[in-house]
Amino acid sequence: MNLPFEVRVAIASILVSLFFASVVSLTLKWRHPQRDFTELRERVRTWWVIVGFFSAALFVSPAAAVCFFAFVSFLALKEFLSMTPTRRSDRRVLFYAYLSIIAQYYFAATSWYGMFIVFIPVLMFVWLPTRMLMMGQTDGFLRAAGSLHWALMITVFSLSHVAFLLKFQVAAEPRIGPDFPSSDAITYPGSGLLLFLVLLTELNDIFQYLWGKSLGTRKVAPSISPGKTYAGLIGGVATTVVFAWVVGPRLTIMDDTRSLIVGIIIGMAGFAGDLCMSAVKRDLNIKDFGATLPGHGGVLDRVDSLIFTAPLFFHFIYYTYG
Amino acid sequence: MRPIMMVVLGTNVRRREWLPSEGPALIVANHNSHLDVFALMNILGLSRLRHVRPVAAGDYFLTRPLRRWFSTRIVGILPIDRTKTKRDCDGKHPLEPISEVLRAGGIVLLFPEGTRGEPEKLESFQTGVAHLAKRHPDVPITPVFMHGLGKALPKGETLLVPFFCDVFVGEPLNSTLPKKEFMNQLDTAFSKLSEELPVQTW
């Protein structure tokens, strides 16, 4: 019973809307039997799997949720390393990169903020190139060290902020007084924040897509992602802000003002994160990072926006209430 | 092995439906790692697993007791002696064990490079597969190109580093061609499949 009432309600409403999406996709298929809706249906079906695992992990225990996100990081790192060229001599270095997932999520699970925040950007940043030196191969050294550190930053460091949110506790004297939505939220403010972040980031993706699809003409970055339009960006951010403003005070400890600010942060950062991963994929000459999630591509294709929104949201909350 | 293959490594399979649904069938694949066999068996699935026999080097897998026990009892390899290329004194063709399995309706996995070799480099194919095609013109021969496992566990390494593995299934080959044309066909099939990979420059 670690989830406050409002988090349970939120998860229930996600399941209801997913059920609604399934009904719509089935109706579409039944109404237009000649058109192909395989991708839409695959996408919805995979959403069920994602939401199922996600909420099951949250319901079981905070430790289970941390393990779940560690596993997501592992899959994302594996996708990234499988897609980027790596030097054969660096096999052992890559192994250390995988091991760092365990350490980083341990620091998140034990709320060891100091280590959590320096482990990858400082310690791994120093250690991995040092280990590479021992191989004695200088060909492509900068590229190998750079892309490996990028891999760790996006797939492990960024995503582990989601797990740390779960353990978030309001400080004795926060800058802004928190607005607890329920009495349970005083002991567990983190799960509401986590759900808010993930929900808003994913909805922002969907809003931007829908706005862009329905009235987008002028492209934001035609050379990186031809699907992104100004209408999608502006409409998406606006919808996300409204949504954050409505959901924020009811689900989390944030008041109206903080919810609005966070809505803007998530809207803009989600767009940038999505675009950034598109640029990486363009650079690597691939369409998707993998095929783990039918209808979505790889795990990285699904969490691309979260890579930017998670650390920004976390540090906003940490600054305000921590 | 199956959970390890799915969780630690993971495979991206293209055109899984082109794999033979039942035996007799011959699957030829490039060889980079000990994991290749498990990746293929994993993709073929439990229902077909009983009939799957991977062809392996007898001179390597039968030498040490533990290796011998694991490869014959657990994996169910079909050992072939690589040192023998001619018919021996009792007149048995060196590829006869494979033919027996094919006649019994089994699915044979064959790595025509004959060795794991340098990771992720395609060695030239041995001609044994052409002989098999000639002996069994009715058996479909499906080429399968695999990439990534040579990075996860290359020859001579014991540390397994997780990587995704790409598996591209190709169209069945034409078994009626004479030896030289057949080998050309095999080369073309694999170079075509390997072109599907994203370009990696370093």
The model's pLDDT over A196-236, given as tens digits with 9 standing for 90+, comes to: 999 999 999 999 988 988 887 788 888 888 888 898 899 99
Q: Which residues on chain B place their C-beta less than 8 Å from a C-beta of chain A?
A: 10, 12-13, 119, 148, 151, 154, 157, 159, 161-164, 198-202
- The Cα-based distances of B68 to B5, B76, B78 in angstroms read 22, 10, 12
Q: Do A85 and B148 touch (CB under 8 A)?
A: no
Which value does ipTM take for this structure?
A: 0.79
| Distance in Å, alpha carbon of B193 to nearest chain A alpha carbon | 16
Mutate: best of B164, B169, B197, B200, partner A, most A CBs <10 A: B164
Apex CA B59: angle with CA B54 and CA B60, to 5°? 70
In this complex, the residue of A74, A78, A92 whose CB is nearest that of residue B159 is A92
How many angstroms away from the CA of B81 is the closest CA of chain A?
Answer: 31
Q: Which of A11, A31, A318, A1 is nearest to A192 (CA)?
A: A11
> How many residue pairs from chains A and B have C-beta atoms closer than 8 A?
44
Yes or no, beta carbons of B162 and A88 under 8 Å apart = no
Q: Which residues make beta-bridge pairs with B169?
A: B144
Minimum CA–CA partner of A294 in chain B: B12
How confident is the model at residue B92, as a pLDDT?
62
**B159: closest CA of chain A, how far (Å):** 8
- pLDDT, one tens digit per residue, over A171-191 is 888 888 888 888 888 888 999
Tell me, what's the pLDDT at A213? 83
Q: What is the mean pLDDT of chain B?
A: 81
Compute the distance between CA of residue A279 and CA of residue A79 in angstroms, rounded to an integer.
Answer: 16
pLDDT confidence of residue B129: 85
- CB atoms under 10 Å from CB of A215, counted, come to 12
B199/chain A closest Cα distance in angstroms: 7
Interface test with B, best of A53, A73, A78 (most B CBs within 10 A): A78
Give how far A73 is from chain B: nearest CA, Å. Answer: 13
Q: How far is B61 from chain A, CA to nearest CA, in Å?
A: 26
With beta carbons under 8 A apart, name residues in chain A contacting B154: 88, 91
What's the pLDDT band for B1 if we cut at 50, 70, 90? low
Identify the closest residue of chain B to A143 by CA–CA distance.
B202
Instruction: Answer whether A85 sits within 8 Å of B202, measured CB to CB.
Output: yes
Collapse the DSSP code of B52 into the 3-class scheme (helix H, G, I; strand E, B; otherwise coil) and give the result. strand
Contacts of A83 in chain B (CB under 8 A): 164, 198
Mean pLDDT of B40-64: 82
Q: Which of B38, B52, B56 is nearest to B116 (CA)?
A: B56
- Residue A58 reports pLDDT greater than 80: yes
pLDDT band at B89 (very low <50, low <70, confident <90, very high): low
Contact between A290 and B201 using a beta-carbon 8 Å cutoff: no
Lowest mean per-residue pLDDT among A26-30, A51-55, A165-169, A307-311: A26-30
List of chain B residues whose C-beta atoms are within 8 Å of the C-beta of residue A102: none
A-chain residues near B147 (CB < 8 A): none
Position B98 scores a pLDDT of: 85
Q: What is the pLDDT at residue B32?
A: 84
What confidence category does residue B87 fall into, taking pLDDT thresholds of 50, 70 and 90?
low
Distance from the Cα of A286 to chain B's closest Cα (Å) equals 6
Q: Which residue has the higher pLDDT, A98 or B134?
A: A98
Task: Report the alpha-carbon angle A43-A224-A280, nearest 5.
Answer: 75
Sheet of strand B25-29: strand arrangement: B11-14, B165-169, B141-147, B25-29, B107-110, B52-57, B78-80
Report strand pairing: B165-169 vs B141-147: antiparallel
Question: Contact A94/B10, CB-based, under 8 Å?
Answer: no
Residues A49-54: what's their mean pLDDT?
93
| Contact: A78, B199; criterion CB under 8 Å | no
Q: Which residue has 């790595």 as its token pair?
A: B111
Top-confidence residue, B86 or A166: A166
- pLDDT of res. B154: 83
Of all residues in chain B, what percent are helix, strand and coil, respectively (each to 5)? Answer: 40, 15, 45
In the predicted model, what is the mean pLDDT of residues A132-150? 89
Nearest CA in chain A to B151: A88
Neighbours of B18 (CB within 10 A): 15
Contact call for A290 and B10, based on CB within 8 A = yes
CA distance B78 to B58: 8
Amino acid at B16: R
φ/ψ of residue A10, rounded to 5: -60, -45
Cross-chain CB nearest to A78 (options B10, B157, B198): B10
Measured CA distances, A95 to A101, B149, B163 (Å): 11, 15, 11
Residue B199 confidence (pLDDT): 61
Select the more confidently predicted residue: B6 or B186: B186
